[in-house]
Amino acid sequence: MTGSRVPLPPGTDFTLENLPYGVFEHPDGPRIATAIGDHVLDLHALADAGMVPSEAAAALRVDVLNPFLALGRGVWQTTREAIVAVLTTDAFDRLPGGALLDRSEVTMRLPMAAGDYVDFYSSMDHAANLGRMFRPEQEPLLPNWRHLPVGYHGRASSLVVSGTPVRRPWGQVKPADGPPRHEPTGALDIELEVGFIAGPGNSLGSPIDIDDAGDHIFGMVLVNDWSARDIQRWEYQPLGPFLGKSFATTVSPWAVTMEALAPFMVAPPPQDPEPLPYLQAAGDWAVDIELEVSLRAAAITELKVLSRTNFKGAYWTIAQELAHMTVNGTNVRPGDLYASGTISGAEPGTYGSLIELTWNGERRIELPNGSTRSFLEDGDTVIMRGWCEREGVARVGFGECVGTVIG
């Protein structure tokens, strides 16, 4: 691949090998774009100029990615090739005026309209940590955990784009020594996750075969599935997460395509027992994504890195999650979001949630100004980052997934 005509700052997440898709605010209405270096390339403008494949042009003129997601891998590939050509050849000199914008000056929206949102529980280390915490005398993993990707249906209406403030939720909280009370959560937590966005779906009653999963997954985003642990603790039995989860889920604005992530696909961890045949996939389905979560407290500017981990350690892969979710015949639609659940490693510095990092509040985290946290306070800002990097391969990053807590 020849060099980009757009300057690429050292260490940028948005290299020529990346070219993620997002939606930004434009005076004429939201527009689809790709990110390159410190810039945004308006794909609506490219479609108007005849610089993208004709079969993609109409889908790139709308205000959300869903119609483009529905077109499938062949169109995604030819569109990517056309964008690369614009950025690396003399075609760049024919860009329409205003098609290339400074990324710092645009406001991003959610890239897709998710009709459904599912949150999985794919990290064994995370599941085991919570098991040890809440069932110390029992096996950490419940009997079904190694046999299927556990998940629940979240609330798509409260998915928000990075940068959207997150209001502290109210709910029922049950103290140890009295009846439940209606009050704001005192245990607001984060969940460091990676999600995948569905492309073409399936008809109701027709499961997606695991070997066809690649035709139905467009790309990936960072996800912070905020959690009110005290509300969740009182409400979740017997039906699972509800108000403690549904108040907000933050999503990064740039969808990194599976083609960009292809050089970073690796073998997943071994699974024991062997999964049932419908969950056995050919090829490498783990993704080597470095993940980091930081906290900036209200009164200070210095960041506190809370955790660093890697997505490749997830026990259940995105292909297995898609195959399992549709094995009963449920239908997937373009733009649906499927998140990994909290990604944690085996050591304390690799945990992806505060409930693990503080061991349910027992081990407070010290911040740069000397204050401490067990869970989040009003004014705290959480920044999640993700990137893929390997010697000889250009960096592919996700940018940031950011949210600030307000009272």
Grouping H, G, I as helix, E, B as strand and the rest as coil, residue 78 is helix
**Catalytic-residue membership of 26:** no
Q: Which two tokens stand for residue 24?
A: 């930004």
Q: Are 29 and 112 in contact (CB under 8 A)?
A: no
Q: Are 64 and 112 in contact (CB under 8 A)?
A: yes
* Through-space distance between the first and last CA atoms of the chain, rounded to whole angstroms: 49
Q: Are 70 and 334 in contact (CB under 8 A)?
A: yes
Alpha-carbon dihedral sign for residues 302, 308, 310, 315: negative
Q: Please report, as a single letter, which amino acid is at residue 32.
A: I
In terms of Cα–Cα distance, which of 6, 37, 34, 74 is closest to 394?
37
In terms of Cα–Cα distance, which of 166, 192, 138 is closest to 309?
192
Q: Which two tokens stand for residue 311?
A: 């997505």
Active-site option among 26, 39, 44, 126: 126
Query: Which regions of 175-244 does DSSP assign to beta strands (E)?
Result: 181-184, 188-189, 192-198, 217-224, 227-228
Give φ, ψ of 342 to 5 degrees: -55, 130
Non-local CB neighbours of 111 within 8 Å, separated by 6+ positions: 21, 22, 23, 64, 65, 197, 221, 253, 254, 255
168 DSSP β-pair partners: none
Residue/partner pairs of 203-206 with CB below 8 Å, 24 or more apart: 203/331, 204/329, 204/330, 204/331, 205/329, 205/331, 206/329, 206/331
DSSP letter (8 states) at residue 95: P
DSSP letter (8 states) at residue 327: T
What positions carry a catalytic annotation? Answer: 126
